[in-house]
Structure 1
Amino acid sequence: MVHADFSLAPFTIAWEVTRACAYACVHCRADAMHTADPNELTTEESLRLIDRIADFGNNPILIFTGGDPMMRRDLHELIAYATEKGLRCSLTPTATALPTKERLEKVRDAGIRRIALSLDAPRAEIHDAFRQVPGSWQRTMDILHRAQEIGVSVQVNTTVAKHNVDILPEMVQFIREVNAVQWSLFFLVPTGRAQVESMISAEQHEQVFNWLYDLSQNAPFDIKSTAAPMYRRVAIQRKRAEQGADQPVTFQGAGFQYADGLNRPTRGVNDGNGFLFISHVGDIQPSGFLPVTAGNTRNDDIVDVYRNSPIFKDLRDVTKLKGRCGICEYRDVCGGQRGRAYGVTGDYLETDPACIYQPKAA
């Protein structure tokens, strides 16, 4: 079970070390650009930031992301320093010529044990159209094989949207064949370049969640849903139906726990609650999908901002939630995706429009 107090420290931190990227993906959260922002954090500022992240005291997962993090010349130095500080580091490189075998070996030696690669389809034509870069699917596959050859495990990230929701079942055999250790499905949030029109419907979300639960029972790889805390509710409902209404249910996953009869609220990672995002210029935000700035690492202490900012405190207080999310019996373990609520309604405490569930109190 996950017993961490998310009011004191995040479970996961995503750090956009640069916004530079050769791609222009239609769904890009970062709205990335081809060259580095001259105002991005310097090496010295970045090392000081890592010191303060370590001061959270819980050894959070630190994801080096972008843009394309491989475009940071000091990436290996930053990873090595974070690893030395006891942080668990992962990396999300873009499928360009930069992740050569030599550079992958350098990040491995610096402390990276897993990389996450984006693959939105088992076929090049669909993936390349979504990424708007011909050849990106094949380059991703090349990087995947290179990483595995040198002992770095690979997680596959798939953005779920209208362009590929119907071919998700085809991805299952593909994930098996490439020997990925985890399949992480990112349910589209309208921020950056991503548009509301590309989102699947609430009914489709529910169908995919139920399909994922069935798949998780015997898949030879881990399955993780991102920007979809409602999956936890579906999993709990399904498990309760299987065990019988009179049997206590316990359930846990990456960064969340649920147990009938606990004396304290169960809790799941969500924007600002167990999750923290740092932009390339040091802006401190609840997540990359919720671009609401609570401070900046150049002027503010990241530990203090996470623990005491009114924005973060509101996001951790389920009594502040509005609409169906506010009265839902699953609000502690789910709480809805706050970035999606913000992207669609302009209010990050409103109902997540991707959820179809009608609470018992409604």
Structure 2
Amino acid sequence: MSKAEALSVAKGNLYDLFHVEAGIENGKITGRAGGTLGDILNPFVQQFFERLNSLKVIARVNGANVYNIYNPPHPTPAGMRFLARKVRMMVYKMAFPVTANLAITHKCQCQCVHCSADPFKDPTRRELSVEEIKKVVDGSLELGASLIIYVGGEPMLREELYELIRYVDKSKAVPMIFTNGLLLTRENVKRLKEAGLYSLNISIDHNEALMHDEFRKVVGCYEKAFEGARLAREAGILTGISTYATHENLKEGHLERLLQIAVKEGFHEVTIFDCIPSGKYLKDASKILAPQERKQVIALARKYYETTPIGVNAMALINSPLGVGCYGANSQFYMTAYGDINPCDFNPVNFGNVREMPIQAIWKKMVSHPDFNKRFPSCRMQSKAYRKKYIDPLPANPKLPIPIESIPQDAPVNFEEALSVY
């Protein structure tokens, strides 16, 4: 049986206390916990393996199973860090991030009206240097992250992207990018692969080229995105489509037709985000899906997950009480290109800047806050209770991000009320 060691469950080398030996037999993950705490933690490890083995394998990388393009393959040292994070949470009684979502530039060729990152753009501010970003990567890995996502703007507009991908310790985490696909030329894809890029998500707004290009304000964006994705797959990079569900594309069938295209093209995965009031639409709660529409998204995702080779992630399910709830300040954080740390890229509430505090300290500050110190049962940005306290009082077109210190903290968000959208 091949060996994949889980990274230490706390700061320092605790391999003798707890580690995992795992391998693949007949396509399934097998193994057990070892070390002084092995017998105690082995039932937890077996439960983790059972969960993995219940999922569909959408690809294989170097003989290891890929269950979705956001997680490292299993069993690998990077993959086992997800398990180690769970143990750390039990030991420290606090959340640790799986994902560091890092904007490395706010420059972009597109002008998407729905862009959640555009309002963070401030020409008067200086974007983080490569060394400053590397320091955040180091801190994220120390916190236990197993996925480093480089986003924008358009991350491929920053020449140092390849250096930053190479910098990620692949024994600890996998690097991913979100891209519009315009710069996915054969030469650039080769450089991405050589740097060690694990996966990429291409943002697609519509199943029709003309509509996608109109949303992006770039003629030919659709065709270049799909051509770039083909080149990436040829190079051995896992590819996904990032899209979103709206009242219109559900009713008119465009979302399902995009799923059909993804299957035909050979994408590994599609992620369907809910249409979240953010960016220029921050104050427009009318964009939020109705409960019946969420059920429609979940049914659509399940249909294509069960009947096609691709993976399908429906945030309508994942971010619901039936899933894991809100990712923000639980399993991920977002950093603007200027170093501001928010719970996620849709949430404009800011807990500090990495130029002033290390990411480890900002994370601890965030997950210690009364409204962020436990699992939130739904997406905060779609929750009436959360929006009532954090979004509704904001003026039209506010300067983003919003420092947490500027928001009155008279009473915590009502968790029962947070379920009101479901």
Give me the TM-score of the superposition, normalised by structure 1: 0.76
- Whether 1:26 and 2:26 are equivalent positions in the alignment is no
Answer whether contact 1:122 1:170 (CA < 8 A) is retained.
yes
Report what 1:196 is aligned to. 285
Report what 1:142 is aligned to. 227
2:137 to 50, 70, 85: 50
The structure, 1 or 2, with the larger RCO (C-alpha pairs under 8 Å, 6+ apart) is 1
Equivalent residues in 2 for 1:5-154, closer than 5 Å: 7-31=94-118, 39-56=126-143, 58-83=144-169, 86-96=172-182, 98-154=183-239
- Structure 1 residue 216 displacement after superposition: 2.7
Report what 2:348 is aligned to. 291
Q: CA 1:218–1:25 in 2, change beyond 3 Å: closer, same or farther?
A: same
Q: CA 1:31–1:154 in 2, change beyond 3 Å: closer, same or farther?
A: same
Answer whether contact 2:263 2:310 (CA < 8 A) is retained.
yes
Answer whether contact 2:105 2:152 (CA < 8 A) is retained.
yes
Q: Which stretch shifts more, 76-85 or 174-183?
A: 76-85
Q: 1:163-207: CA deviations, max 9, x gaps?
A: 422322212321111111111001111111234344433321222
- Structure 1 residue 217 displacement after superposition: 2.5
The amino acid across from 1:219 in the alignment is: T
- Whether 1:316 and 2:373 are equivalent positions in the alignment is yes
2:380 to 338, 342, 351: 338
Q: CA 1:10–1:312 in 2, change beyond 3 Å: closer, same or farther?
A: farther
Report what 2:315 is aligned to. 226
Distance 2:355 2:333 in 1: 16
Report what 1:306 is aligned to. 363
Distance 2:276 2:318 in 1: 13
Q: CA 1:227–1:43 in 2, change beyond 3 Å: closer, same or farther?
A: farther
Report what 1:212 is aligned to. 301
Q: CA 1:43–1:172 in 2, change beyond 3 Å: closer, same or farther?
A: closer
Q: Which stretch shifts more, 187-196 or 147-156?
A: 187-196
- Structure 1 residue 353 displacement after superposition: 8.1
Answer whether contact 2:102 2:335 (CA < 8 A) is retained.
yes
Q: CA 1:338–1:104 in 2, change beyond 3 Å: closer, same or farther?
A: same
Q: Which stretch shifts more, 290-299 or 208-217?
A: 208-217
2:307 counterpart SS class? coil
- Structure 1 residue 277 displacement after superposition: 0.8
The amino acid across from 2:354 in the alignment is: T
- RMSD over equivalenced CA pairs, Å: 2.8
Give me the TM-score of the superposition, normalised by structure 2: 0.66
1:116 counterpart SS class? strand
Answer whether contact 2:262 2:270 (CA < 8 A) is retained.
yes
Report what 1:243 is aligned to. none
Distance 1:146 1:91 in 2: 15
- Structure 1 residue 35 displacement after superposition: 9.7
Answer whether contact 2:184 2:225 (CA < 8 A) is retained.
no
Report what 1:171 is aligned to. 258
Answer whether contact 1:269 1:275 (CA < 8 A) is retained.
no
2:421 to 349, 355, 362: 355
The amino acid across from 1:289 in the alignment is: F
1:295 counterpart SS class? coil
- Structure 1 residue 123 displacement after superposition: 1.7
Q: CA 1:38–1:309 in 2, change beyond 3 Å: closer, same or farther?
A: closer
- Structure 1 residue 39 displacement after superposition: 0.8
Q: How many residues align?
A: 307
Percent identity, aligned pairs only? 22
Distance 1:108 1:158 in 2: 24
Answer whether contact 1:114 1:154 (CA < 8 A) is retained.
yes
Answer whether contact 1:14 1:65 (CA < 8 A) is retained.
yes
Q: CA 1:303–1:230 in 2, change beyond 3 Å: closer, same or farther?
A: closer
Q: 1:311-357: CA deviations, max 9, x gaps?
A: 65632325xxxxxxxxxxxx6xxx1101223785343746458833x
Report what 1:238 is aligned to. none
2:371 counterpart SS class? helix
Answer whether contact 2:98 2:331 (CA < 8 A) is retained.
yes
The amino acid across from 1:117 in the alignment is: I
Report what 2:405 is aligned to. none
2:363 counterpart SS class? helix
Q: CA 1:268–1:231 in 2, change beyond 3 Å: closer, same or farther?
A: closer
Q: CA 1:206–1:227 in 2, change beyond 3 Å: closer, same or farther?
A: closer
- Structure 1 residue 85 displacement after superposition: 7.0
Report what 2:75 is aligned to. none
Report what 2:269 is aligned to. 182
Q: 1:109-130: CA deviations, max 9, x gaps?
A: 1110211101233221222232
Answer whether contact 2:351 2:362 (CA < 8 A) is retained.
yes
Larger Cα Rg: Structure 1 or Structure 2?
Answer: 2
- Structure 1 residue 291 displacement after superposition: 1.2
Unpaired runs of 5+ residues, structure 2, are 1-47, 49-81, 392-412
- Whether 1:279 and 2:366 are equivalent positions in the alignment is no
The amino acid across from 1:127 in the alignment is: H
Unpaired runs of 5+ residues, structure 1, are 234-255, 257-266, 319-330, 357-362
Distance 1:304 1:228 in 2: 31
Answer whether contact 1:20 1:71 (CA < 8 A) is retained.
yes
Distance 2:177 2:309 in 1: 23
